[in-house]
Structure 1
Amino acid sequence: MEGELADLAEAIIGVARELRLRLDSTAASDADIVELTASEAHLMRHIDHHPGVTPSDLARATGLQRSNMSTALRSLENRGFVERRADPHDARGVNLYPTDRAAENLKRLRRQWAQLMDNGLRGDRQGAAAAKALLERVEAALTADRLG
């Protein structure tokens, strides 16, 4: 069983790597897609799923070092992907929101991801929903364990 689970983790890493390599080579064909670093993509994913998150909660949830998070967040803001808004419950605080530009970029990326996955599956989507559910469950459990 241990080997099977390690093999699954290795396969996940391999698929992620291939997606990244393919996106890097196809991004040139879609000049409207803005490429993000791994840290930026990690932050954007959380902000997209949790609009209004505070910077402190974002750091805790993503597990990034504060300095790395600040650098990536500044870059996302400078490129128009994230906006800060005053916290309606605490005027001293801010909340982070994805912008329309970020949503459009994500839409284009998701379209490319879907095409790459469909190509990799050779059109056979059987089991894709179950695999997605399994991976979401694993991610949620690992995140919960890390956050304690």
Structure 2
Amino acid sequence: MPPTPTDRDLADLAELVLAVARDLQSPRARADGVPTLTPTETAVIRYLHGHPGASPSAVADATGLQRSNLSTTLRSLEGKGLVERTHDEHDRRAVVLRPTAQAADDIARLRRQWADRLAGALGDDAGGVAEATALLDRLERRLGPRA
């Protein structure tokens, strides 16, 4: 049985996750032509990328945003051409949200840029990436509020 991590181990992990995230969000790590997003915009577009056709209520619940903050964020994402609001095909009164083709293209380019950056930094020392990814995925799911 592996040893239980100490509070210091867990705090060190959190600090390193933040440092890597800052690096990946820095201007030098941005894919050309991909708009800069706020952390809130990033959370919304990530959720919609995995849940196209979600209602605004579902997005707010999943991201932990207040409805008014979500509304502001959606206007900004629409203005950047990344999100579109349409009516639900089964209930024309209901609104659903979808990432645009531009958003899908931007996400693909950004993910490629991140992969290249991490591959370059790791070089031949890439062992454990799958395990680290699985650990961080579990952490994200357990920390919520994203569904």
TM over 0.5, shorter chain: yes
- SS in structure 1 at match of 2:69: helix
Q: Is the 8 A contact 1:118 1:124 kept in 2?
A: no
- Give 1:119 deviation, angstroms: 2.3
Counterpart CA distance in 1 for 2:29 and 2:58 is 34
Q: Tell me, which stretches of 5 or more residues in structure 1 are unaligned?
A: none
| Residue 121 (str. 1) matches residue 126 (str. 2) | no
Q: Distance in 2 between matches of 1:79 and 1:132?
A: 30
Alignment coverage as a number of residue pairs: 141
The alignment-based identity, stated in percent, is: 48
Task: State how far apart, in whole Å, the 2-side matches of 1:124 and 1:118 are.
Answer: 9
Residue 8 of structure 1 and its aligned partner are, at CA, apart by 0.8
- Looking at structure 1, the residues matched to 11 and 110 of structure 2 have their Cα atoms a distance apart, in angstroms, of 28
State the match for 2:35 in structure 1.
34
Matches of 2:12 and 2:84 in 1, distance apart?
Answer: 40
- Equivalent residue letter for 2:24: L
1:117: Cα distance to partner?
A: 1.1
Kept after mapping to 2: 8 A contact 1:80/1:102: yes
User: Which structure ranks higher in relative contact order (CA pairs < 8 Å, sequence separation ≥ 6)?
Assistant: 2
- From 25, 45, 56, the equivalent of 2:28 is 25
* Partner residue in 1 for 2:3: none
Alignment TM-score, normalising by the size of structure 2: 0.87
Give TM-score, length-normalised by structure 1.
0.87
1:8 counterpart = 2:8:
no
Between the aligned partners of 2:45 and 2:57, the Cα distance in structure 1 is 15
Quickly say closer, same or farther: Cα 1:94–1:7, change in 2 above 3 A.
same
Displacement of 1:68 in angstroms is: 2.2
- Where does structure 2 lack aligned partners over 5 or more consecutive residues? 1-5
Report the Cα distance in structure 2 between the residues aligned to 1:123 and 1:60, rounded to whole angstroms.
Answer: 41
Secondary structure of residue in 2 paired with 1:92: coil
Whether contact under 8 Å (2:35, 2:80) holds in the other structure is no
Per the TM alignment, residue 26 of structure 1 is displaced from its structure 2 partner at its CA by 4.8
* Separation in 2, partners of 1:85, 1:74: 14
Contact 1:84 1:94 in 2 (8 A): yes
